[in-house]
Amino acid sequence: MNMSFADLGLAPEVLKAVADQGYENPTPIQAKAIPVVLAGRDVLGAAQTGTGKTAAFTLPILTKLAPMASNSVSPARHPVRALILTPTRELADQVSASVTTYGKQLALRSTMVFGGVNMEEQSKILRGGVEIVVATPGRLLDHVQQKTISLGQVEILVLDEADRMLDMGFIPDIRRILDLLTNRKQTLMFSATFSPEIKKLAAEFLNNPETIEVARQNATNEMVKQELHPVESHRKQKLLAHLIRTHGMTQVIAFCRTKQGADQLARDLKRERFSVEAIHGDRLQSARMETLAAFKDGKVQVLVATDVAARGLDINDLPYVVNYDLPHNAEDYVHRIGRTGRAGASGVAISFVTPEDDKYFEAIKKLIKKDLQLVPVPGFSPGTHALPPPTRPRSGPALMGDVQVETPQLPPLPKRPQQIAALFLPPKAPIQR
Ligand code: AMP
């Protein structure tokens, strides 16, 4: 029997907002976490974006704060009672939007605080009084220093994507913030992974937590088709353009390892007349938001992103995700392909694997416990130098240098290529024993 939201003990105003969103049943993390949070326990939750984790902590927090809702104009009647810390501005923005959506029936105030935007505007809102603050750690500390925010009445703290906060070096800031939360009663920590470091932080920050784990969304999600192509580095851009055309991709996110790589790929694809934008940490917050909105609206066909910029972005049900650069961190592979095949929709995760990627490829296979096979794309097999067959008719005169070369016969593939490098080397003479 499916559990319903009404069984979880949420406030009627919150239930109404959830019904307005059209959610029928709680997701597994919601069903498990909501009663525990309402009971006042600390939580260590293993959940990625896409599992419904934001509502898993937002709905019970709103329920707990509902009795304190007040229409008073006095700032003193609206102290900060819940603080939600996120590693990135984008995630803060999304969490904040969820708080607004799920809390729309309640006279509770919320705001977000992150760097890269005017501090004065944030200060004005904070001075007026807000019960729920969603913040990135650095900017929150700036406000503490300027005395525009007081955290002494915060009862509930959420650390969202704690693993990424760790990666991004935010833990000293978090410790500083924790010292200011003198009235903290409950802490909820969410992380996509339970690494030894995360367990250590949980032991430091949480008090007898309930550990809640939900199945990894996509490591074993059969709805995601994983296609891996061996390719030489210098031909990756042409291969991507070829695949976008042949698959008729209208919305695709391509992951690059570096900001420079992302910019370069975006430029190259623009030259191929695709509508493409890059998002990474060097781009202004406002530009990142604009780009994301355009991508979601279908105005941008290809979004080139780095892991940090894409982490936590609520981009659901993407039909295609491309690992243009294979990630060096196997966990990132799981995060990246988690962008597709969500909520029962099918998706394709395409990865380019170069000879230099051998050890990262092995690490990914080990992590997801799947023997992923490399399948060359005709015309792009390593060791061949043919152009792919044209995928759309060209009109007008042939361009200089636009040479058509016949696609050679593909060599038979080894049945279970263990080492990618083997695909890139000339065949060896059989060893005589
Ligand atoms: P999150 O993991 O919090 O980023 O949520 C991923 C997406 O799932 C968001 O777009 C939510 O709006 C959506 N969502 C959250 N809870 C539910 C639910 N119970 N039923 C359907 N969709 C949901």
Q: Is residue 218 part of a domain?
A: no
Q: Single out the residue in 188, 213, 238 at which a domain terminates.
A: 213
Give the lowest-confidence range in 42-46, 75-79, 177-181, 397-401.
397-401
The CA-based angle 330-334-337, given to 5 degrees, is 130
Q: Is residue 97 part of a domain?
A: yes
Using a pLDDT cut of 70, give the percent of the chain over it. 82
Q: Are residues 134 and 76 in the same domain?
A: yes
Q: Are residues 200 and 283 in the same domain?
A: no
The CA-based angle 171-176-181, given to 5 degrees, is 115
- Report how many domains make up the chain: 2
Q: Single out the residue in 160, 179, 213 at which a domain terminates.
A: 213
CB distance 45 to ligand 1 below 6 Å = no
What is the distance in A from the centroid of ligand 1 to the CA of 90? 16
Q: Is the pLDDT of residue 427 over 60?
A: no
Q: Are residues 121 and 233 in the same domain?
A: no
CB distance 49 to ligand 1 below 6 Å = yes
Q: Is residue 204 part of a domain?
A: yes
Q: Are residues 168 and 231 in the same domain?
A: no
Q: Single out the residue in 213, 240, 265 at which a domain terminates.
A: 213
CB distance 48 to ligand 1 below 6 Å = no
- Specify the pLDDT at position 311: 61
C-alpha span between 354 and 358 (Å, rounded) = 7
Q: Is residue 55 part of a domain?
A: yes
**How far, CA to CA in Å, does 75 sit from each of 84, 93, 112, 127, 149?**
20, 23, 17, 7, 11
Task: Give the number of other CB atoms < 10 A from CB of residue 233.
Answer: 12
216, 337 contact by CB (below 8 A) = no
Q: Is residue 165 part of a domain?
A: yes
Q: Are residues 30 and 171 in the same domain?
A: yes
Pick the more confident residue, 334 or 77.
Answer: 77
Q: Tokens representing 131?
A: 């019960």
Q: Is residue 239 part of a domain?
A: yes
- Specify the pLDDT at position 313: 61
CB distance 354 to ligand 1 below 6 Å = no
**pTM for this predicted structure:** 0.61
Sign of the alpha-carbon dihedral angle for 260, 262, 268, 270: negative
**How far, CA to CA in Å, does 151 sit from each of 83, 93, 273, 286, 305?**
8, 20, 51, 28, 35
The CA-based angle 409-254-264, given to 5 degrees, is 90
CB distance 323 to ligand 1 below 6 Å = no
pLDDT tens by residue, 249-278: 999 999 999 999 999 999 999 999 999 999
C-alpha span between 27 and 42 (Å, rounded) = 20
Q: Is residue 219 part of a domain?
A: no
Q: Are residues 330 and 229 in the same domain?
A: yes
- Residue 412 is part of a domain; what is its CATH number? 3.40.50.300
Q: Which pairs with CB-CB distance under 8 Å and at least 24 residues apart come from 147-153?
A: 148/122, 148/123, 149/80, 149/113, 150/79, 150/80, 151/80, 151/83, 151/177, 151/180, 151/181, 152/180, 152/181, 152/182, 152/183, 153/79, 153/80, 153/81, 153/183
Residue having the nearest C-alpha atom to atom 12 of ligand 1: 52
CB distance 317 to ligand 1 below 6 Å = no
What distance separates the 2 farthest-apart alpha carbons in the chain?
89
What is the distance in A from the centroid of ligand 1 to the CA of 27? 8
Q: Are residues 233 and 379 in the same domain?
A: yes
Q: Are residues 136 and 164 in the same domain?
A: yes
pLDDT tens by residue, 330-389: 878 887 887 776 555 678 999 999 999 999 999 998 888 788 899 999 999 887 765 554
Q: Is the pLDDT of residue 20 over 70?
A: yes
Q: Are residues 262 and 285 in the same domain?
A: yes
199, 209 contact by CB (below 8 A) = no
Q: 291: closest CA among 141, 76, 90?
A: 90
The pLDDT-based confidence of 282 (bands split at 50, 70, 90) is confident
- Provide CB contacts within 8 A for 143, sequence distance 6+: 113, 119, 122, 123, 126, 149
Q: Are residues 48 and 83 in the same domain?
A: yes
Q: Are residues 197 and 242 in the same domain?
A: no
Domain extent at residue 257: 224-383+400-422
Q: What is the mean pLDDT of the chain?
A: 85
In 3-state terms, what secondary structure has residue 417? coil
Residue 47 CA, closest ligand 1 atom number: 2
Please provide the size of the chain in residues.
433
CB distance 316 to ligand 1 below 6 Å = yes
Mutate to test the pocket of ligand 1, among 48, 314, 317 (most ligand atoms within 8 A of CB): 314
- Provide CB contacts within 8 A for 253, sequence distance 6+: 295, 302, 303, 304, 305, 310, 315, 318, 320, 321, 322, 339
Please give the backbone phi and psi of residue 46, each rounded to the nearest 5 degrees, phi first.
-100, 105
Q: Is residue 247 part of a domain?
A: yes
Residue having the nearest C-alpha atom to atom 5 of ligand 1: 52
Q: Is the pLDDT of residue 390 over 60?
A: no
35: which DSSP letter?
Answer: H
Q: Amino acid identity of 160?
A: D
What is the distance in A from the centroid of ligand 1 to the CA of 220? 19
The pLDDT-based confidence of 419 (bands split at 50, 70, 90) is very low
> To which residue do tokens 């994507």 refer?
161
What is the distance in A from the centroid of ligand 1 to the CA of 318? 15
Q: Are residues 119 and 182 in the same domain?
A: yes
Calculate mean pLDDT across residues 170-177: 95
- Specify the pLDDT at position 45: 94
Mutate to test the pocket of ligand 1, among 10, 14, 27 (most ligand atoms within 8 A of CB): 27
